[in-house]
């Protein structure tokens, strides 16, 4: 993989100067087209071996383009807010919005390649990590991002010479750290880890571009040309319709059975039992959330369900039991302008809680495969891919030691009708019922199919769905509280 980057490529000064002036102008032109169109973000990774001039390339790109529309990200030790959240959180928060170029000097590759090269994780773990990275980047691409990944390469001999030379010059000696020499000692192992990582993540849409870093002019010109070409090609591409669907939806159940219809909606609870159980489970939840080890975990709750299924009331029974300062409810409505300029899941990532906190999503990322699917708010290909993206998202939440629980509140269409009518008659519940709710009701079968697909595809071991028989509100609330307590108890 690195052979073609050990050939001693170089560019003479005159040729460089000559080409650069045209290149700069063309890059600037393309950049302004990008800014004006605001159609997609550019994510540019500058990775590679130590001493391979990565920061010089980053500086040059900033110089060649208008730095006001470039966001350059370096990643030192994570802050404590970052440490308390999933590994990818710090990269999500650094993603450029549409129209901007985000340069990543250091990225989601840095840690796995270093760890593997230094023998702290094996190939299996690296491979797993790279598979996640591959899917993450595929998601970015599906969301419209242009991804360019540059790997700056130096042969062992050249790297040694380079580090020695940098160190000798007082002006540049600061650039060489003891860590660089430590890395150099493991050159072969790091090279092997990098090659493996690059091979696994070089895809048709986001290939790695290995650049020989021996000659700075060759290196910069290569990066500049590739960037220009990719930008131009993407800007000039006629905007196509939504991508073709990649997989057929789940087959309909031939016998009319499905997970929703299989629920026993006749389950109910007497008021006297409810009062007793409510006190017991709320007490338990209160104790659990004050547990010493709870401070090391976060809780993410997802509430979905038909309109009027009782989400609000159930959420309130939880918030009553826990310290209000630890708890936040995010009601999901239409995305804001800043959210629309980012990949779909960004607006959920941004809210992820730190340790010791509880975040409740009142409706969630599942809107993609429910309302957006049924109402046609997004293309079929988009909601089809969402299942996998959601599973990856939830796997990362779970991996960060957060406790994730997802509730679907199920009621019958008859019960929904009864509640709608009741709401219209109760003055302080009027706000809860809108024209849209009545319209949605007419699409009951389509929603039912969407829910069944959702459960089939996203109820995973690490993030199972709890289907809650909600025909009787009292029964539903207790089941939710009990499930939540059990999940937390299990985790502590």
Which residue in 8, 37, 66, 242 binds a second copy (CB under 8 A)?
Answer: 66
Residue 11 CB, shortest distance to a second copy, in Å, is 21
Residue 408 CB, shortest distance to a second copy, in Å, is 19
Which residue in 278, 327, 370, 386 binds a second copy (CB under 8 A)?
Answer: 327
Contact flags string 15-44 toward a second copy, x per CB under 8 A: ----------x--xx--x---x--------
Please, what's the b/e burial string for 101-122 (b: 16 or more CB within 10 A of its CB; e: otherwise)?
A: bbbbbbbbbeebbbbbbeeebe
375 DSSP assignment: T
Q: Specify the stretch interacting with a second copy by CB under 8 A; choose among 12-20, 78-86, 125-133, 272-280.
A: 78-86
Burial of 409 (0-12, 13-18, 19+ CB in 10 A): buried
Contact flags string 452-491 toward a second copy, x per CB under 8 A: ----------------------------------------
Residue 35 CB, shortest distance to a second copy, in Å, is 8
Start-to-end CA span in the chain (Å): 46
Which residue in 3, 14, 124, 337 binds a second copy (CB under 8 A)?
Answer: 337
**Residue 42 near residue 102 (C-beta atoms within 8 A):** yes
Residue 171 CB, shortest distance to a second copy, in Å, is 8
> Taking Cα atoms as reference points, which of 332, 291, 272, 301 lies closest to residue 489?
291
Comparing CB distances to a second copy, the nearer of 262 and 324 is 324
Residue appearing with tokens 């419209």: 144
Which residue in 326, 390, 405, 463 binds a second copy (CB under 8 A)?
Answer: 326
Phi first, then psi: give them for residue 355, nearest 5 degrees.
-65, 145
Contact flags string 156-175 toward a second copy, x per CB under 8 A: ------------------x-
Phi first, then psi: give them for residue 79, nearest 5 degrees.
-75, 170
Position 12 contacts a second copy (CB under 8 A): no
* CB atoms near residue 259 (< 10 Å): 18
- By CB under 8 A, what part of segment 296-325 binds a second copy? 312, 315-316, 319-320, 323-325
Q: How far apart (Å, rounded) are the C-alpha atoms in residues 4 and 157?
A: 16
Q: How far apart (Å, rounded) are the C-alpha atoms in residues 485 and 363?
A: 21
Distant-in-sequence, close-in-space partners of 358: CB < 8 Å, separation ≥ 6: 289, 298, 299, 301, 318, 322, 326, 327, 328
Residue 366 CB, shortest distance to a second copy, in Å, is 17
Distant-in-sequence, close-in-space partners of 216: CB < 8 Å, separation ≥ 6: 53, 56
Q: In the complex, which residues of this chain contact a second copy (CB under 8 A)?
A: 25, 28-29, 32, 36, 55, 58-59, 62-63, 66-74, 79-81, 103, 105, 174, 290, 312, 315-316, 319-320, 323-329, 331, 336-338, 354, 362, 428, 431
């Amino acid at each position: 993989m690195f052979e073609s980057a050990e050939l001693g490529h170089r560019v003479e000064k005159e040729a460089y100067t000559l080409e650069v002036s045209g290149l700069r102008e063309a890059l600037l032109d393309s950049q302004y087209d990008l800014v004006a169109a605001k159609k997609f973000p550019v994510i540019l990774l500058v990775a590679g071996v130590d001493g391979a001039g990565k920061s010089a390339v980053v500086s040059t790109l900033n110089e060649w383009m208008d730095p006001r529309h470039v966001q350059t990200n370096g990643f030192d030790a994570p802050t404590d807010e970052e440490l308390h959240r999933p590994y990818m959180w710090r990269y999500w928060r650094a993603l450029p919005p549409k129209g901007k170029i985000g340069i990543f000097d250091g990225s989601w590759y840095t840690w796995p390649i270093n760890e593997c090269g230094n023998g702290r994780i094996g190939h299996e773990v690296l491979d797993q990590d790279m598979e996640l990275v591959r899917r993450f980047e595929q998601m970015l691409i599906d969301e419209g991002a242009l991804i360019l990944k540059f790997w700056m390469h130096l042969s062992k001999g050249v790297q040694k010479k380079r580090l020695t030379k940098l160190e000798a010059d007082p002006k540049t000696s600061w650039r060489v750290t003891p860590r660089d020499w430590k890395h150099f000692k493991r050159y072969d192992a790091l090279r092997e880890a990098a090659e493996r990582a690059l091979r696994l993540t070089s895809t048709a849409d986001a290939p790695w571009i290995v650049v020989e870093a021996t000659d700075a002019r060759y290196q910069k010109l290569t990066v500049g040309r590739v960037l220009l070409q990719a930008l131009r090609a993407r800007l000039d591409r006629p905007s196509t319709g939504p991508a073709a669907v990649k997989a057929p939806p789940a087959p309909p159940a031939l016998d009319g059975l499905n997970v929703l219809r299989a629920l026993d909606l006749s389950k109910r609870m007497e008021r006297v039992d409810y009062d007793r159980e409510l006190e017991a489970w709320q007490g338990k939840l209160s104790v659990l959330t004050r547990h010493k080890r709870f401070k090391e975990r976060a809780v993410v709750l997802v509430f979905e369900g038909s309109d009027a299924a009782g989400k609000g009331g159930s959420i309130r029974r939880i918030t009553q039991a826990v310290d209000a300062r630890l708890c936040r409810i995010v009601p999901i409505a239409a995305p804001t302008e800043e959210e629309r300029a980012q990949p779909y899941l960004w607006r959920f990532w941004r809210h992820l809680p730190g340790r010791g906190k509880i975040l409740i999503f009142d409706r969630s990322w599942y809107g993609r495969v429910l309302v957006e699917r049924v109402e046609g708010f997004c293309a079929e290909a988009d909601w089809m891919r969402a299942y996998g993206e959601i599973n990856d998202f939830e796997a990362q939440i779970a991996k960060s030691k957060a406790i994730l629980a997802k509730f679907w509140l199920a009621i019958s269409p008859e019960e929904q009708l009864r509640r709608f009518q009741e709401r219209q008659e109760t003055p302080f519940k009027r706000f809860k019922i809108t024209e849209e709710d009545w319209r949605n009701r007419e699409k009951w079968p389509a929603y039912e199919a969407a829910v069944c697909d959702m459960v089939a595809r996203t109820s995973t071991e690490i993030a199972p769905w709890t289907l809650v028989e909600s025909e009787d509100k009292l029964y539903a609330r207790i089941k939710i509280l009990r499930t939540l307590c059990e999940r937390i108890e299990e985790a502590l």
